[in-house]
């Protein structure tokens, strides 16, 4: 069984949703965590949770990562108009960045492949907190 962790700017466009959908059905693959990057007060993480609920998947931990409000981005990636994509308002899912980094670290410690889609800010923050951790990880960017 291949373990994967997806670090994503989910909801900026459709490619991230398609990647997660593919991984959910990919043979011998288990998603052990999803973290969002360039988040906006947990909205991207909320969209991931809503998508997983629609897909009837409740076992994957999701954490909101680096937030645009923290000043990491000169030009933040925007979010589309919610009502154009979701039938009902989606609840944001906020947490501390430390929780996000712990989920990433746990995934790496379990041998998961880290798939980075979008800005790599969470990976940068992870490397700052745990120097050298990315050298021992399996990255697919």
Band the pLDDT of 73: cuts 50, 70, 90: confident
Please give the pLDDT value at position 31. Answer: 98
Distance (Å, whole) CA 96 – CA 67: 10
Residue 83 Cα distances to 9, 69, 77, 79, angstroms: 19, 23, 18, 11
User: With a threshold of 0.85, does the pTM exceed it?
Assistant: yes
The Cα 80–Cα 84 span in angstroms is 8
What's the mean pLDDT when you consider all of the chain? 95
**Contact 69/41 with Cβ under 8 angstroms?**
yes
pLDDT band at 78 (very low <50, low <70, confident <90, very high): confident
């Amino acid at each position: 069984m291949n373990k994967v962790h997806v670090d994503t700017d989910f909801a900026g466009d459709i490619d991230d949703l398609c990647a997660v959908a593919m991984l959910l059905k990919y043979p011998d693959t288990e998603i052990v965590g999803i973290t969002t990057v360039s988040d906006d007060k947990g909205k991207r993480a909320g969209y991931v949770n809503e998508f997983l609920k629609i897909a009837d998947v409740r076992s994957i931990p999701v954490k909101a990562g680096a937030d645009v409000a923290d000043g990491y981005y000169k030009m933040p990636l925007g979010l589309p108009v919610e009502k154009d994509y979701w039938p009902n308002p989606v609840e944001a899912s906020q947490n501390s960045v430390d929780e996000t980094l712990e989920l990433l670290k746990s995934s790496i410690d379990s041998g998961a492949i880290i798939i980075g889609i979008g800005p790599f800010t969470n990976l940068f923050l992870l490397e700052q907190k745990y120097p050298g951790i990315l050298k021992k990880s399996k990255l697919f960017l």
